[in-house]
Amino acid sequence: MDQTRVQIYSDSLEEYQSKLKGSLKENLSSFDPANAKSCASHVTPFGISYVAGIPLFRTHESQRDYRDTIQELESNLPGQYFNDILHSHISLAIAIRNSPRDSQAFNSNGRLIPGYTPLGNKKDFYRDYLEILNSVDFEPFSLSVEGFFPGGIMLWRPQDNPEELFNIRRQLAEGLVKKQEQNRDFHFDTNPQGQPDTNTIIHTTFLRPYDLNSFKGNFSRYNSTIEKINERIENRELFKDHIQIEEIAFIEPNVGPEISPEAYYTDEVIEIKKAK
């Protein structure tokens, strides 16, 4: 089992802490607005995945800090889509499908997987993925805000029970691979090695660019605001308390073909698994 874990999912707390001490934050801070992509190009289903802590901000203080921060950023960067409190979550970075409805993809065996629209009862449709969700054995853990970054993500640092998020990711990755061994048509997004495509940073998406002209034109002012926000986080003026995580979930963002900053993204939580 240990050898299988290394092959399928090798990230660890130690590696992540090393990235935080290294160039990760510098690289995220140097985001080039010319590389931004508009969320207007996506239609449902998009970003079907496993997540943690939805909604994420539940205390009065954390809700106030997130709401005020987003309002400040939005005033400096109009015409974009900012995630509200209800849809905030930690990405577990185990993507099932991260592509538009009408696109096509290949599974790890090289078979073409056409785009699709889930039909019928969602719990029946996603039964195999929910079985994996419910098989995960984990305990509550906590994270602290490391900072906001101009590409649209919040970065997090593990705190209490720091290994647990990596333990959850590992179990999800192993569950997906096991299911695909039983059914070669079972789909999840893969890396070039045919393994679960995991993004090993711990993050929350707070922004999806929509109006690219506005994004590029206002980027300098927006980026300056982010730098000031991060100074306040470092000085413990914002997000000073740890965020407690006690559940994971399987979500299907409900994205219509007509996308706007006002009505783009509403997560449909298909199922939740509570910590033991």
The per-residue pLDDT string of the chain (276 residues; one tens digit each, 9 = 90 and over) reads: 344 443 566 688 999 999 999 999 999 999 999 999 887 765 444 568 899 999 999 999 999 999 999 999 999 999 998 988 888 999 887 878 755 444 455 544 555 555 556 667 888 888 999 999 999 999 999 999 999 999 999 999 999 999 999 999 999 999 999 998 998 878 887 777 777 877 678 999 999 898 999 999 999 999 999 999 999 999 999 999 999 999 999 988 765 555 555 555 567 889 999 999
Q: Is the pTM of this model over 0.85?
A: yes
Q: What are 205's two structure tokens?
A: 């998406």
The confidence score (pLDDT) of residue 49 equals: 87
96/63 Cα distance (integer angstroms)? 29
pLDDT for position 76: 95
Packing angle, helices 219-234 and 60-76, rounded to 10: 160
Which residue pairs, CB below 8 angstroms and at least 24 apart, start in 154-158? 154/203, 154/204, 154/205, 154/206, 155/20, 155/24, 155/25, 155/28, 155/201, 155/202, 155/203, 156/90, 156/202, 156/203, 156/204, 156/243, 157/20, 157/202, 158/13, 158/16, 158/202
**pLDDT at site 114:** 54
**CATH H-level superfamily of 2-274:** Cyclic phosphodiesterase (3.90.1140.10)
Q: How far is 71 from 39, CA to CA, in rounded Å? A: 20
pLDDT for 113 equals 52
d(CA 66, CA 80): 17
Which residue pairs, CB below 8 angstroms and at least 24 apart, start in 212-217? 212/36, 212/38, 214/77, 214/78, 214/79, 214/80, 215/33, 215/36, 215/77, 215/79, 215/80, 216/33, 216/34, 216/36
What does the block give as tokens for 18?
A: 């090393």
Q: What is the per-residue pLDDT for 256?
A: 53
pLDDT for 238 equals 98
